[in-house]
Every structure is written in structure tokens, then in C-alpha cells.
Chain A
Amino acid sequence: MATYNRLQTLVAMQLTNRKMFKKMKSKMHAVAYVLLRVLVIAVITAIIAGVMMICNSLLQIKVDRNLLLFIIAFSQIISIIGFTNGLVNSLYLSKDNAILLQFPARHSEIFISKMVVNYIVEFWRNLNFILPLLLAFGIMGQTPVDVGYWLTIPLFLVFLPLIPLFLGAILSIPLMYAKRLLNSIPLLQTFVGLSFLGLVIYWVIKIVALIPTPLRLLANYNSFITGFNQFIVDANSFFIGYQNIVNCLFDTRTVWDFLILIGTGAVIVALAYFLAMPLFFKIISHFSERSVDNKHKKHTNKQRGVFGSYFIKEITTIMRTPGKLFSFLFGVVTLPFLLYVINTIFTAINTSAVGDSMIIGFNLMIGLFLAAANNSSAAESISREGAEFTVLKTAPSQTYKMVWSKVLVYEIFNIISLIFGFTVLASITDLSASEVVWLFLVFILISSGHLLWSVQFDILNPRLNDVASKGTAYNNPNVGKSILAGLLTAVIFCAVTIFFMVDSYVGGWVKLILFAVAFFVVRLALFMANLRVYFKRIEF
């Protein structure tokens, strides 16, 4: 009983930290909340049912038990990957461990409480996806369902979250050891990350090579749908246990199917209990300990100007932080890769003159979306300095130059990425050399304008306190603003490009370049004005 009470307290404490489980102010609030949840589930069910109806009638995709099995099994794989990674943080690296372990509770109870919390969160998530999916399938699916189908849904909601959660707990142990190894050798971490990226790129290129030429999406629709339906059937043959689990829903169910559903959950829970729990305390108490035996070489500091010093500091920080370095290199690699994939598909389509203009417009939009994601990191470049910003700012010199040094670093990586990207573009499309150069110019002007805009968001509203106190600025509104601005800019430029070029191809290029120059000049002027006025007002 005492154990149960302690578990209840531990779970309640951890749940109150979650936004979705905040304590209700009154009974009325609680009732309103429950009604709202029911309404949300009903709306999601209606949307999924609508999609299923379109798939059945318009798209000729069979919404039968095969598709249901595929979706459930696929969502479980995503959950297993998510939990394996997420549990490393929430079980072993979470900052609340330091507090929880001080409480008069056994280590096993803390482990169990954490698993219960994760289970409740997953159960809650399933109410927003698996429940509406099953309800919609019961209404719109092509496979007939009986009363047993509706009665089995609650069983599904209870047992399905157990499998990915506890499997994730088991898999998180070797992942934790791997992470520790990678953290101790930063270069290895970057190497593994890039190797993984290389593998993904290799497979995507192999798949893209299968695209037939000419690509006639509408004409080949039937064969695409036949292939898709066959792919679902073939993929399902690998989901051995889930075939029985999904069979519980239909009139072909047997006792064995239910035993496999309940048994799989029970076995995985037991495995996690005997494998992960004994290691829990050992891992959290030892994994943060790591001796540092850096040997510092003596050298005389080279005197540099203010801008040069800040620039070298930025570069050194990136080179010494594997996460940052990987993030920048990822940005450099993804643009050329994305342009390669999308343009291989575009060139396979036999396009008209309007289609050619669309291709230029969409290339611009797709590339700028990616640039928006990369530049959004610049929207917290000043905030990331945290408490150190005061030290940097109090130096008796023109410290605003630090902002320019940050802009330059982002710009260098942007340009490298664009050079690779447009080399790829020139090699696989029919665009002439001059068209590629003009597009490169337009792209760099818009991307640079957006970069300045992103940094400007941070100058106006830096989150230094958040970084200083929590180590990172969670849900930084500047990042959101930067991404939104980038997406809007990309959409506007895509529309403008198509509009200009459909009207007159050569004249369209001139107008597009002038429009991009105007955008960059306006952003540069606003950035400089804001930097001059607001940088000195930034306070910690």
C-alpha cells in the first residue's frame, strides 16, 4: 500500500508538469475540458472518415483491413523510434532525476513512475489518433465490422501503447551507451551523423532513379494505385505479430489473436522490468560522470580586430560543438540533395512553357523553405549567448559587430550550400547557364534578406534570460516568427515568379531580379536601423 501511495505521488508530481494534465480550477472547467476533448476526437474522426471516403471513391485506394494493419503497424514503428530516443532523455538524462532521487522512494518506484507517466501520455495521444482512426474505419472502411469490433477498441487503446513504450525502454539502454560513446568522441558523433545522412541520400537516389521517363502522373495513376495496394500487402507480411493483433478487430478473430495481443504487451513489460529497471539507477548515477583530460598547448594570442575576434570565436564554437557542426553541415547537404530529387522528377515530366515557369517558381519556393528552416537558427543567435552576453557587451569596443560576425557565418554556409545546389541544378535540368546564374542571384538575395530578418527578430526580443536559466530557449517565439516569415516570402516569390514569367519569360527574369534586389535592400536597411537603435538597449 505504501509503495502504491508513493507511486501515486510520484506520478501525480510528474504529470502536473505536463500542460495537458494541469489541475482544473473547478468542476465546471473539468466538464468543459472533457466535452472539448470529445469534440476534438469527433472532429478528427470526421476528418479521417472524410479522407477514407475520398480514398475509397475518388482515389481508388482500398481502405480495407490491409490498410488499417499497415497504418497501425507503421504508427507503432514511429512510436518505438520516438520512445527509444525520448526515453533516453526522460528516463536517464532528465533534470528532474536529481530531485526525484532525493525523495524517500525506491529507485525502482521512480523508474515505474516514469514509465507510468509516459504510458499515460501515449494513451492520451492515442485518443487523438488511434481512436478516431478505428472509429472512422468502422464507419467508412470497406471491410465489414461486427459488434466485436467496437468492443475490442478499448482493449486496443489499453494494450497498444504498452508495446512501443516498453520496447523503447529496452532499446534505450544500448542507445544510451552509444550516445555516451559518441559524446566522448565529438568527431565520431559528426561522422556517424553524416554517414547516416549519406545512407539516407543513397537510398533516396536509388528510389528516384526508378522514376519512369516521361513521368505521366495522371496517365499512370492506375498502375501507381495497383502498385501502392500491392506494397501495402507486401509490407504487411513483415508485421507478423500485428497481423494477429489487428485480426482481433474482425470476425475472423480467434482466442489466439487476443492471447497474442495481451501476451505481447505482458512479455515486453516483463522484459523491460527485468532488463531496464536494474540498470536505471546505475545509468543515471554514472553516465553524467566523465573525466576531461584536455592537454592545452601554450600559444601566444594573436591580436585581431573586434569583428575578426568575434568571427573566429563563432567558427571555433561551431567546430567544437558536434551538434552545431552537424546542423550546419546538414544544412549544406540538404539543399543540393532536395534540388536533385525534386528536379529529377520535374525533368521527367514533359512540360509546356507554363510548366517551365512553374518549375522555376517551385524550385525557388522549395529551396527557400529549406533556407527558412536553416536561417531560423539565426533568430536565436544572440539569445544563445545567455549570461555571457553581458560579458561580451561590456567590452569597451563596438560590440554590435558581433552580430555581423554571426550573420557572416550563416552566410558562408548558405553560399556553400547554394553553390553545391545550383551545380546540381545546372547538371540535371535543361536550364541554360545564364538562367542558373540568375536564379542563384535571386536565391541568394532572398535568402540573405531573410537571414537579416531572422537576426532582427532576435535583436528586438532576445531571450537571454531563458538561455541563462534553462540552458536553452524552449519554444523561442523568434524562431517561429523567422520560419513564418521565410515561408511567406517563399510562397510570395514563387507566385510572383510564375506570374512574371508566364507574362513574358525574359522580362519576367528582369522583374524577378529587381523584386529580389528590392527585398534584400529593404531588409538590409531595416536590419541596420534596428541594429543601430536596439542593440545597445539589449539588457540581460
Chain B
Amino acid sequence: MTKKAVVAIEVVVCLLAVVIISIFGINPEAWRDDIPAQSLVITNQSDPVREIDVTRSTDTNGREVVNVKLPSSIREYQIEWEISPENVTVTQISFTSAQIGGNIISISDTGLVNFLTNSNEGATIMLKTTDGTNRIAQMIITFKASSSGGDIEL
């Protein structure tokens, strides 16, 4: 047995120790008190290079709405978001949009929006936490008009 083997064993033991204490040595109270999501915020920003404009407004319920304007050449857009607190128990987000059923867009689990057709129809996307707290964030994506026309709004 060499010193290298001891280092490898040491690393494994350290990881095992953390796992064992996390399972068998944890305070029973800690099993129950899940950390709920307190807020869900969309963090996308404007990108002058790609000509993407991002503005923020408020809907009738006082919730923030993120408005994204894409040039018609962009057919793929990544939604970015933040849930607080950082150590929230469930980080999973669900995405809903009326346009998904119409086969106009698809959204991956990681929030990547793909526009499946060449039409310049935008999309309204709702993000929701899945831990039962139902924190919601909303994004409206529209396409900038070509030089001959105005914006295409939803």
C-alpha cells in the first residue's frame, strides 16, 4: 500500500463521513423543515451585440413581467432565473406557455426556448416553483419588426 492509496482512501472516507453524518447523525428537526422558495426572479439582461432588448414592467397583480425583444434571426433563447434563498430545498422549475401546445415553441428543462416555425409569433412563458410555494415569474418574448414593418406583439 502506498501513500497515493492513502490519499485516495482519505478522500473517499471524507465524502463517506459527510454522507453518513448527513443521513444518520442529522438532527430530527432538520428532516422536517424544508427550505421553501421565497422568490423567483428572471435575470435575463439586454444584449446589445445580439440586439436583444430586455425591459421590465408590472402586470395588474403587481408581478414583474420581463419583456424580451429578439431580432427575427434568433430562433433560440435561454431563460435565466434565480430562486432565493440559495439553499432552497426544491430548485425545480416548471414552464408553461400557450404556444407549446400549438407546436410553435419548445422549452427544455434548462429553460432553452426554441421557436419551431419561421413565423415571427412570440410567446408568453410562465415559470413556477414546484415546491408548493407557487412563486411565479413571467416572460413575454416578441420579435422585432423587419425594416418594413412594426413590432409583432402577442
Contact = CB atoms under 8 A, between A and B. Distances in A.
B67 to A, nearest CB: 26
A237 interface: no
B153 to A, nearest CB: 33
A223 B47 CA distance: 28
B49 interface: no
Contacts of B27: 350-352, 355
Contacts of B110: 230
A359 B42 CA distance: 40
Interface residues of B, number: 34
B30 A214 contact: yes
Interface residues of A, number: 41
Given A355-B25, A372-B6, A217 B19 contact: yes
B3 interface: yes
Contacts of A346: 17-18, 21
A218 B22 contact: yes
A220 B87 contact: yes
A366 interface: yes
Contact of B30 (A216, A230, A345, A370): A216
A222 B93 CA distance: 12
Interface string A321-358: 00000000000000000100110011001111011111
Interface of A is mostly: helix
A370 B141 CA distance: 57
A220 B83 CA distance: 13
Contacts of B86: 212
Interface string A143-178: 000000000000000000000000000000000000
A480 B4 CA distance: 11
Interface stretch (B8-16, B58-66, B71-79, B119-127): B8-16
Contacts of A220: 87, 89
A342 B17 CA distance: 9
A479 B22 contact: no
Query: Which of the listed residues B1, B7, B25, B26 has the most CB atoms from chain A within 10 Å of its own CB?
Result: B25
Interface string B29-42: 11000110000000
Contact of A373 (B7, B20, B24, B91): B7
B92 interface: yes
Contact of B34 (A219, A223, A345, A376): A219
A226 B90 CA distance: 11
A357 B90 CA distance: 30
Nearest to B87: A212
B11 to A, nearest CB: 10
Contacts of A341: 14
A350 B10 CA distance: 23
Interface in A366-424: 366, 369-370, 372-373, 376
29 contacts: A212-B86, A213-B87, A214-B87, A216-B22, A217-B18, A218-B23, A219-B89, A220-B89, A223-B90, A338-B10, A341-B14, A342-B17, A345-B18, A349-B18, A349-B22, A350-B27, A351-B25, A351-B26, A359-B21, A366-B10, A369-B9, A370-B6, A373-B7, A479-B1, A479-B2, A483-B3, A483-B6, A487-B1, A487-B6
Interface of B: 1-3, 5-7, 9-10, 13-14, 17-30, 34-35, 86-92, 110
- The 3 closest A-B CB pairs, nearest first, are A355-B25, A212-B87, A223-B91
